[in-house]
Amino acid sequence: LSNELDAEIQHKIDMKTKPQGSLGRLESLAAQIARLQHTLSPCTDTAMHLVFAADHGVCEEGVSPFPQEVTAQMVLNFLQGGAAINVFCRHNNVGLKVIDAGVKTSLPEHPDLVSCPVASGTRNFAQEAAMSAGELAQCLQTGAEMVDCWAADAQVLSLGEMGIGNTTTAAAVLAALLNIPARDIVGAGTGASPEMQVHKAQVIQAALERHQTHQLSPLEILQSVGGLEIAMMTGAFLRGAALKKLLVVDGFIATSAWMVAYQLSPHIRDYTVFAHQSHEQGHQPILSQLGIVPLLTLDMRLGEGTGAIAAIPLIRLATAFLNEMASFDDAGVSQSA
């Protein structure tokens, strides 16, 4: 990203009628967005949220307290407008599309559902690779296409997910990418008991060893232990950054998809805002290792991208103050000594 406007952006921020720095993180956010849009008057009015849904073969190992059918049931709930993400997007004026990346149960046609399943869920990564190299490539491509199709005009792009078992998948991906033990990153997900969490960690650790993930590239890791929705999100994040959109990342699963993209293309970080510190226990240490503190910490762990949408009003306040506040000169206000 070009930094040629940085001094002008900072000057514009500092001349607003407020003590310097007093809008805290909204100031750095405004500067980031202005820089990536290469303008002193950035805009975040149009925001699009894409929810990718898929099933996970690793559910066979008993890693979630919810039955696998809930993935499809929740997609239907999205289409009927009754899920948290529907409420959040409606209230914050964010567009929403749901993408079937590979739900096992067949789904009805619906104007808000984009049907492009790459497979009928992943295979069980405890036994074999979650997907083939061809399936992975198709996921990455489809994720990028979803951005082109549904978020071409959006200044702000956020991604969410639905997939019973996907905290297990995300933990496997992150543990492999960052080379940390599974037990340090596994959490309760939708509400696993302590015993189930121990079991989750064992399933993941055995899979990391079976697939020899320490020898694999980020994309090979995604193929071995990833998810179809997670791989599509990786493709969507990469495409969103290429189109200079602000990427809003929320919780544990979105972070796993983002981390693959980041390892492939570190400059994606310039386009990213982390919206919410998930209550899922693995999230905080992973982000703090990168020096990232999300905007919100509301102890949420719902998924669907709800944490991302909760932060959208703050993102819009950041650009609004930069565009709309008077300067000391405009308002005839004296500056500090």
Under the rule (CB under 8 A), what is the footprint of a second copy?
16-26, 65-67, 69-70, 73-74, 76-77, 80, 82-84, 86-88, 90-92, 190-191, 279, 295-303, 306, 310, 313-314, 316-317, 320-321, 324-326, 330-337
Distances (CA, A) of 251 to 66, 93, 170, 213: 19, 21, 10, 23
Closest distance between a second copy and the C-beta of residue 311, in Å? Answer: 9
CB-nearer residue toward a second copy: 46 or 263:
46
Measured from the CB atom, is 242 or 333 closer to a second copy? 333
Residue 255: C-alpha distances to residues 207, 210, 235, 269, 290 (Å): 20, 24, 13, 12, 12
Residue type, 172: A
**Closer of 245 and 279 to a second copy (Cβ):** 279
- Spatial strand order of the sheet with 272-274 comes to 113-115, 95-102, 47-54, 156-162, 246-249, 272-274
Residues with Cβ within 8 Å of 296's Cβ and at least 6 positions away in sequence, in order, are 275, 276, 277, 307, 310, 311, 314
**For a second copy, which is the closer residue by CB, 54 or 322?**
322
**Phi/psi zone of residue 98: left (φ > 0), alpha (ψ -120 to 50 degrees), beta?**
beta
In order of 173, 220, 233, 260, the CA distances from 208 in angstroms are 9, 12, 22, 16
CB of 297 to a second copy, least distance (A): 7
Closest CA relative to residue 190, chosen from 129, 276, 251: 251
CB of 54 closer than 8 Å to CB of 227 = yes
Query: Is residue 275 a contact partner of residue 311, using CB atoms and an 8 Å limit?
Result: yes
Shortest CB 249 distance to a second copy, Å: 18
196 vs 216, which CB is nearer to a second copy?
196
Q: Which is nearer to a second copy, 70 or 178 (CB)?
A: 70
Q: How far is the CB of 75 from a second copy (least distance, A)?
A: 10
Other Cβ atoms within 10 Å of 30 Cβ, number: 25
Work out the burial of residue 258: count CB atoms within 10 Å of its CB; fewer than 13 is exposed, 13-18 middle, 19 or more buried: buried
What is the CA 148 to chain-centroid distance, rounded? 17
Rounded CA-CA distance 104/202 in Å is: 25
Catalytically annotated residues: 304
Beta bridge partners of 248: 158, 273
CB of 19 to a second copy, least distance (A): 4
